């Protein structure tokens, strides 16, 4: 029997909105992540048939939780040893008993689940994978596809992580107030990584991985609802909204990369920008501001600038100066140098960039030679620009970005080949 | 509750040049650590340097090879341990953060339980 499309849509919607809530509430009963996953999966499968017969319940999340928990109790009875070998630590496990608890009373345990998935004792790649699997409800195959690894590799990664959670007794608990800021930062790092991976896919044919961007946005909105007073959460949500507001204009109709300078600003998402700017203001109220708040403030300057030439570059440099103190990463310093190139002149920008040439963390980072190439091109030092573009091309694996760099190189070639132009001189050999 | 072994890995060369004051300082710190974490501590020892270690391996033929030195040569070597009892990893890590290890760090390993 084919499921009614409206029922399938309701189940898909409940999957996206409620998965984390249902799973977190079920873990409270099973005490075991793997068992809870199975029960929740079964509950969604049952929803497809039951909702088809009896209609979609008024509160799908509560319905799913009740069914998943009942399955967990049945499974627990079948396997009494389960209770003795509880791998996941719970200080207050609930036993829903034969009568199901009033759905109104199901505690929102999603924060516990967030902190378990993003525990610093797990590898970052495992934290990201667990977040997609357990909080977003992606299948192992989907998580594998998101990170371009094979399904068995991802399955092994998830299993290893879950074994560590149970073996080392990583708690299912919201950390104490003293630890909370550091632990929230770890969570935001995972979500931000998810977003940046989607915003500019490191490899592949598409510049933007819409699925990952959407998941990151959903997760951040969930965190915002669960931690409404946290300035760093507000900062990350602002950053994602303001950055993603430009997504429709980053790739042209022909699939080509369109730089910020050339994007059609009338097509930016003004609702997202409005929401993002309000959140930046809120996030900046905390002193000193956090790194996501500052990054969001930088995105806000671009989002509110009427045009590329009317961008407040001085403000951008000031924000980057603050950010570089708080987050002394060479990548931040690189972006600062680009802003300096517009605020204080190309030579100043080039000077700031050259100061970064020896940074080991930037070796192999395509944006360094790409930024250098752009400044050199604007200075008319075309053969040096060519070398820098070629170097950037060697380091770029995203097809859209590669095409952009190739086009820039071709343009330079035409400029250099113009009749009457002086010989570019001995070209420095491109690094291989 | 569960048990965790906190393994202390430190640079032996740094300890070799630490001098009597260095050792005295370490003794003080470990005593203070013991007082602060007495409720969780189930045991612990300092080990003599890896120069005193002997490694025994069974050869494929069935005989044993006995060699001078630690099992694996590393810059930071196992130099001591504490056995602690904790409710979960977070509690164990909170104790681990207080273990004095000026020339290295510690590794936290849950103790295997067989039912």
**A350-360 tens-digit pLDDT:** 999 999 888 88
> Both tokens of residue B103?
């020339």
CA distance A343 to A148: 39
Per-residue pLDDT tens for A156-171?
Answer: 999 999 999 989 999 9
| Among candidates A85, A91, A171 on the partner chain, residue whose Cβ is nearest the Cβ of B89 | A171
State the complex-level ipTM.
Answer: 0.85
B87 touches chain A (CB under 8 A): yes
Answer yes or no: is pLDDT of A21 > 70: yes
CA distance A361 to A330: 7
The reply to whether residue B88 touches residue A175, judged by beta carbons under 8 angstroms, is no
> Both tokens of residue A142?
């989907």
pLDDT band at A425 (very low <50, low <70, confident <90, very high): very low
**With contacts defined as CB-CB under 8 Å, which chain B residues touch A171?**
87-90
pLDDT band at A431 (very low <50, low <70, confident <90, very high): very low
Answer yes or no: is pLDDT of B30 > 90: yes
Nearest-CA distance A178 → chain B (Å): 12
Are A71 and A42 spatial neighbours (Cβ–Cβ below 8 Å)? yes
Are A232 and A188 spatial neighbours (Cβ–Cβ below 8 Å)? yes
Q: How many CB atoms lie within 10 A of CB A251?
A: 16
Q: What is the mean pLDDT of chain A?
A: 87
> Both tokens of residue A290?
């956090």
> Both tokens of residue B82?
């504490």
Higher pLDDT, A39 or A329: A39
CA distance A261 to A255: 17
CA distance A377 to A409: 10
pLDDT (mean) for A176-184: 91
Q: Domain B2-110 falls in which CATH fold?
A: Alpha-Beta Plaits (3.30.70)
Q: What is the pTM of this model?
A: 0.83
Per-residue pLDDT tens for A75-108?
Answer: 877 776 555 555 555 656 666 554 555 555 677 8
The reply to whether residue B88 touches residue A169, judged by beta carbons under 8 angstroms, is yes
Are A65 and A101 spatial neighbours (Cβ–Cβ below 8 Å)? no
> A70-79, A98-107, A249-258, A262-271: lowest mean pLDDT where?
A98-107
A-B C-beta contacts closer than 8 Å: 28
CA distance B93 to A183: 14
CA angle A245-A246-A247, nearest 5°?
A: 95
**With contacts defined as CB-CB under 8 Å, which chain A residues touch B113?**
none
Per DSSP, what are the bridge partners of residue B104?
A: B10
Residue A359, pLDDT score: 85
CA distance A233 to A246: 21
A296: which residues sit within 8 A by CB, 6+ positions away? Answer: A235, A236, A238, A239, A242, A276, A279, A280, A283
Residue A86, pLDDT score: 53
CA distance A11 to A22: 13
Answer yes or no: is pLDDT of A421 > 50: no
Give Rg (Cα) of chain B.
16
**With contacts defined as CB-CB under 8 Å, which chain B residues touch A179?**
90
Give Rg (Cα) of chain A.
25
A177 phi and psi angles, rounded to 5 deg? -55, -40
| Among candidates B88, B108, B110 on the partner chain, residue whose Cβ is nearest the Cβ of A171 | B88
CA distance A16 to A27: 18
CA angle A352-A358-A364, nearest 5°?
A: 105
Residue A128 buriedness (CB in 10 A; 0-12 / 13-18 / 19+): buried
**With contacts defined as CB-CB under 8 Å, which chain B residues touch A84?**
115
Are A212 and A219 spatial neighbours (Cβ–Cβ below 8 Å)? no
CA distance A59 to A56: 8
Query: Chain B window 2-41: which residues touch A at a Cβ cutoff of 8 Å?
Result: 2
Residue of B nearest to A168 (CA): B110
A325: which residues sit within 8 A by CB, 6+ positions away? Answer: none
Nearest-CA distance B102 → chain A (Å): 22
Chosen CATH of A111-174+200-222 out of 1.10.1740, 1.10.10, 1.10.3470, 1.20.20: 1.10.10
Residue of A nearest to B94 (CA): A179
Q: How is chain B split into domains, by residue range?
A: 2-110
What is A159-210 written as a DSSP string? HHHHHHHHHTT-B-SPPPTTTHHHHHHHHHHHHHHHHHHHHS-SEES-S--H
């Amino acid at each position: 029997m084919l499921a009614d499309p409206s029922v399938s849509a309701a189940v898909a919607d409940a999957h996206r909105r409620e998965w984390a809530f249902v799973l977190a509430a079920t873990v409270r009963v099973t005490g075991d992540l793997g068992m809870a996953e199975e029960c929740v999966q079964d509950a969604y499968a049952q929803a497809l048939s039951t909702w088809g017969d009896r209609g979609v319940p008024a509160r799908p999340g509560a319905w799913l939780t009740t069914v998943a928990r009942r399955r967990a109790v049945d499974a627990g009875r079948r396997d009494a040893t389960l209770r003795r070998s509880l791998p996941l630590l719970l200080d207050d496990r609930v036993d829903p008993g034969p009568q199901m608890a009033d759905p109104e009373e199901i505690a929102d345990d999603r924060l516990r689940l967030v902190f378990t998935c993003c525990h610093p004792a797990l590898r970052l790649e495992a934290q990201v994978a667990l977040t997609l699997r357990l909080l977003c409800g992606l299948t192992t195959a989907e998580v594998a596809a998101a990170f371009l690894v094979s399904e068995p590799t991802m399955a092994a990664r998830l299993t290893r992580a879950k074994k560590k959670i149970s073996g080392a007794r990583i708690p299912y608990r919201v950390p104490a107030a003293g630890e909370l800021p550091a632990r929230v930062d770890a969570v935001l790092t995972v979500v931000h990584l998810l977003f940046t991976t989607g915003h500019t896919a490191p490899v592949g044919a598409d510049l933007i991985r819409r699925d990952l961007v959407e998941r990151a946005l959903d997760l951040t909105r969930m965190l915002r609802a669960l931690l409404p007073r946290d300035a760093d959460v507000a900062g990350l949500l602002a950053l994602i909204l303001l950055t993603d507001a430009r997504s429709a204009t980053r790739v042209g109709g022909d699939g080509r990369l369109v730089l910020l300078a050339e994007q059609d600003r009338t097509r930016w998402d003004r609702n997202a920008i409005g929401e993002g700017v309000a959140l930046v203001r809120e996030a900046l109220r905390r002193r000193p501001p956090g790194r996501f708040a500052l990054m969001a403030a930088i995105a806000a300057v671009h989002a509110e600038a009427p045009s590329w030439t009317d961008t407040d570059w001085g403000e951008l440099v000031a924000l980057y100066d603050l950010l570089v103190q708080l987050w002394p990463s060479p990548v931040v310093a690189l972006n600062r140098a680009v802003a300096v190139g517009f605020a204080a002149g190309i030579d100043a920008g080039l000077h700031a960039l050259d100061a970064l040439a020896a940074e080991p963390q930037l070796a192999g980072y395509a944006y360094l030679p790409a930024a250098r190439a752009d400044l050199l091109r604007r200075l008319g030092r075309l053969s040096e620009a060519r070398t820098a573009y070629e170097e950037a091309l060697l380091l770029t694996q995203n097809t859209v970005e590669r095409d952009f760099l190739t086009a820039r190189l071709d343009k330079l070639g035409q400029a250099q080949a113009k009749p009457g132009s002086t010989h570019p001189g001995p070209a420095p050999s491109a690094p291989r | 509750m569960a048990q965790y072994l906190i393994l202390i890995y430190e640079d032996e060369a740094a300890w070799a040049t630490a001098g009597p004051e260095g050792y005295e300082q370490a003794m003080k710190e470990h005593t203070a650590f013991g007082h602060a974490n007495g409720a969780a501590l189930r045991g612990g020892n300092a080990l003599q340097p890896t120069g005193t270690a002997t490694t025994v391996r069974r050869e494929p033929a069935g005989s044993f090879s006995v060699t001078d030195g630690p099992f694996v040569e590393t810059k930071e070597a196992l130099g001591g341990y504490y056995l602690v009892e904790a409710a979960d990893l977070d509690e164990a890590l909170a104790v681990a953060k207080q273990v004095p290890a000026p020339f290295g760090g510690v590794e936290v390993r849950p103790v295997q339980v067989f039912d």
